[in-house]
Structure 1
Amino acid sequence: MSCIFCSMNEIIIENNLFLAIFYKYPVTKGHLLIIPKRHVEHYFDLTFEERQAIDDLLFKGKKLLDQQYKPDGYNIGINNGEAAGQTIFHVHVHLIPRYKGDMKEPRGGVRGVIPEKRM
């Protein structure tokens, strides 16, 4: 079975180990996916150097999105494992720009993955 992330070609930014693309199904405008160039299924299988490369692209992605879309905040998320909602088993980090008014009550942020736990 081929991996859709192993053949990305619409790269927005990259470093030596990772690339970032605009997500095909964005939560908000500017939603980026940060993806390792090496096929790795889970975040906890990444090397220390790869985890540093994620951080590099998170900051580069934020700078790009700040300039292009001027969001009011960000969510950063990784679904690690099927029980956590991972459906593509190639690590990817969501950098989701947030805008005032994009939802009625954003309080609780990522806790909303289990709606009844949202504060």
Structure 2
Amino acid sequence: MTDLEQGMTDLEQGMTDLEQAQQDKIAPWDLEVLNVTDFHVAVFRDRYPVTQGHLLFVPKYNTAAVIGDCFESALRYGQELVEKDYCQGFNIGINSGTVAGQTVMYPHVHLIPRRTDDCADPVGGVRGVIHGQANYHSGGYQLPANEN
């Protein structure tokens, strides 16, 4: 079944994957913002934002294609924010699995607006999820051990 066919089936049943996850208390999002994207993606304010304007792009249907739509929508919206001088840059990311920091077990893509001087050393960006590994220009970076 294609993503579109699955979406039509879900609509006929009256509930999207996201709505089911919210009903089941898996997805606790209730801070939905204005529609800034296509109809497959819901956008919520993050309940615990790391910067002003931190948003979550959430697939209404839990499929790879719609998760891809979340990334595309976050990218477009982030570019608009930069063009409007709301921020000077942005990070986009997803936490997949508890070892990666995922706390809400329904897929969602973070858009984190970045501003000049919002942190002491932004070098490495998302690489900072592993302490000491972000700034590979500094002496603290270590090449991960090879897996055999």
What TM-score does the superposition give when structure 2 sets the normalisation length? 0.64
Q: Output the CA distance in 1 between the equivalents of 2:101 and 2:71.
A: 22
Q: Output the CA distance in 2 between the equivalents of 1:66 and 1:54.
A: 18
Residue 11 of structure 1 corresponds to 33
- Where do 5+ consecutive residues of structure 2 fail to align? 1-23, 136-148
- Aligned-pair RMSD on alpha carbons? 2.2
Q: Is the 8 A contact 1:35 1:93 kept in 2?
A: yes
Residue 109 of structure 2 corresponds to 93
Q: Is the 8 A contact 2:43 2:57 kept in 1?
A: yes
* Pair 9,101 (structure 1): closer, same or farther in 2 beyond 3 Å: closer
More strand by share: 1
- What amino acid is aligned across from residue 94 of structure 1 in structure 2? H
Residue 107 of structure 1 corresponds to 123
- Work out the percentage of aligned pairs sharing the same amino acid: 35
Structure number with larger C-alpha Rg: 2
Hey, which bits of structure 1, 4+ residues long, moved more than 4 A? none
* Pair 114,59 (structure 1): closer, same or farther in 2 beyond 3 Å: closer
* Match runs of 1:70-85 below 5 Å: 70-85=86-101
Residue 112 of structure 1 deviates from its aligned partner by 0.6
Residue 64 of structure 1 deviates from its aligned partner by 5.1
Residue 33 of structure 1 corresponds to 56
Residue 8 of structure 1 deviates from its aligned partner by 3.8
What TM-score does the superposition give when structure 1 sets the normalisation length? 0.78
Residue 61 of structure 1 deviates from its aligned partner by 2.2
